[in-house]
Amino acid sequence: MKAGYFQPITAPYRIAWMWWVILVSFQQVLFLENNLTLNWLTTSLIVVIIVCFYFLVRQRRFFIVGNEIHFTQDFRLTTTIINIEYINSIKVTPFTVSFVYVGKEYRFFMFGRSNELIRLLLENKKIIRKKKS
């Protein structure tokens, strides 16, 4: 079993980042409106911002077992199981991996060893189609 790390690049994940920026901006406005003093509202917003930031940047794991890739999910004990025989439209760049699995598009931010691991797995299964020059 091989393992690596990933970050999702899905629409809900990008929207969560936008809401995090809005929340940080709102906290800063409240802090500046209160003449740079901390009160219970700005302090509680700082705590919420830190907790949200943790869940946005924490590393998620994937595991490769045979012909399957298991991606962990947030707030669930199960994993998303991807059988590599049914993967289409694969695009591997130095920082991202995207593919279509049973009609649903998946995009992940992976770099370093994790990206190399996925790339080698897909090349070994001859799924990545090379461009004809």
Per-residue pLDDT of the chain (133 residues; tens, 9 = 90+): 889 999 999 888 999 999 999 999 999 999 999 888 888 999 999 999 999 999 999 889 999 998 899 999 887 888 889 998 888 888 888 899 999 998 899 999 998 899 899 888 887 776 554 444 4
* Domain range enclosing 28: 11-57
Residue 70 shares a structural domain with residue 101: yes
Residue 75 shares a structural domain with residue 112: yes
Matching residue, tokens 């279509």? 100
Residue 85 shares a structural domain with residue 119: yes
Residue 19 shares a structural domain with residue 30: yes
Q: What is the pTM of this model?
A: 0.75
Residue 117 shares a structural domain with residue 95: yes
Number of domains within the chain: 2
Residue 34 shares a structural domain with residue 76: no
Do residues 110 and 118 lie in contact, with contact meaning Cβ atoms separated by under 8 Å? yes
